Amino acid sequence: MNSCPPVNIPGAPGQSAFTLTTASITIPAANNTVVASVQSSIWAANGVIVVVSDGTNLGTFMVVGNSANITQLTLRWLNALGDSATGTLIANGAIVTPVGSPGAAGQNSYTTLRAGVAAPGVGGIGNTYSTQVVNSLWMAVGQTIVIAGPLTYTVAAAPTNQLLCSLTYIGSSNDILVGTALTGSVVSPGGPPVSTGGLATSGANSNITGLSGLTTPLSIAQGGTGTSTPYPALTPTPTVSLKPVQSGTAQLVNGIATVNTATIYKDASNVTTSVVVVSLLVPGGTRTAFAGYQVATIVQGSPGSFTITAINAAGATLAACTDTVAWQIIG
């Protein structure tokens, strides 16, 4: 008797655990539903979480209804992290695929003030303040915290009440020194504060001993010149001792006159300060510009006297000159 071995007959292909939309859908408000037209809904049981994505926009939904004709799904939007916004259109042909349930929303790493905070100023560095915030549970001891203003602190103790936090003011060169961070100001993590390093930040100070790298000229009001072009060195103005002017006339005899006076002012060397020949006088008027003479030389004599000599263009004494010369001593 012949027997045949058993033969396994392949079953029908299984149902794909995804589908494609056959029409676009618009993301509704959170926890509201939308009916999606799909190629097949056989695989999607009520309560399954799915993501509908066209490659650009996406939404996370829960299946809450599966039509009898297997071409429609009723979906409730879960508004999960990463979803597109309400009102966004997800295009026709989007893939509908099951996913795991969304995790709990993460903790925001910032908060806002429930009450204003006054700037502690330099005198407040090292002081610890109880600060009212909306949520402090994300803060860790030693963490740098910046309150918009800015004001810079570190967390002094682990929060036990989400509405309060204990902050120690450490200050930063960017911090405001006066004023208040108002209710609603953002409180967020910050990097290490910029140390002032003992440098002056404002007001009167005594630790600035020089400036380097200054590229903008200080204005005159700031104590500068307002220009980068150096001014020429100033020559000290000599001290001038004003003295009365002495004047007089002298008769030239053969072009020479010696003037003697006991009141001529003298410099430290006991000589006449300066003598100027003003004009030559002739009967009936003044001889203009020493007409007939080139110059009149003045020679210092003994203290209290000087000699006036009229010379011609060649420098020779005019022996025949007998005019009257007017002179002045200035100084």
Identify the CATH class of 111-189: mainly beta
Q: Is the pTM of this model over 0.75?
A: no
- Say if CB 164 and CB 136 are below 8 A apart: yes
Confidence of residue 58 (pLDDT cuts 50, 70, 90): very high
Q: 302 falls in which pLDDT band (50, 70, 90)?
A: low
pLDDT of residue 328 exceeding 90, the answer is: no
Q: How far apart are CA 99 and CA 183, in angstroms?
A: 42
Q: How far is CA 150 from CA 156, 188, 195, 220, 305, in A?
A: 18, 11, 14, 33, 84
Which pLDDT band holds residue 95 (cuts at 50, 70, 90)?
A: very high
Above 60 in pLDDT, residue 40?
yes
> Token match 């056959």: residue?
22
Say yes or no to pLDDT of 254 above 50: yes
Q: Model confidence at 307, in pLDDT bands (50, 70, 90)? A: confident
Q: Is the pLDDT of residue 25 over 50?
A: yes
> Hey, what are 125's tokens?
């560095």
Q: 285 vs 13, which has greater pLDDT?
A: 13
Domain ranges of the chain: 19-98, 111-189, 246-329
CA pair distance 179, 202, nearest whole angstrom: 15
Position 268 pLDDT exceeds 50: no
10 Å Cβ neighbour count for 151? Answer: 28
Termini Cα distance of the chain: 160
Prior bond of 189 cis (ω within 30°): no
Q: Are 303 and 270 in contact (CB under 8 A)?
A: yes
**What are the pLDDT digits (tens) for 134-190?**
998 889 999 999 998 889 999 999 888 888 999 999 888 888 888 888 888 999 998
| pLDDT tens track for 203-234 | 566 666 676 777 788 787 877 777 777 766 66
- Residue 60 and residue 128: Cα distance in Å, rounded? 45
What is the pLDDT averaged over residues 298-314?
66
CATH architecture type of domain 19-98? Beta Barrel (2.40)
Give the model's confidence band at 299: pLDDT under 50 very low, under 70 low, under 90 confident, else very high.
low
pLDDT (tens digit, 9 = 90+) per residue, 238-247?
A: 554 445 566 7
Q: Specify whether the CB–CB gap between 170 and 154 falls below 8 A.
A: yes
Q: Do domains 19-98 and 111-189 have the same CATH topology?
A: yes
Task: Tell me the pLDDT band of 123, cut-offs 50, 70 and 90.
Answer: confident
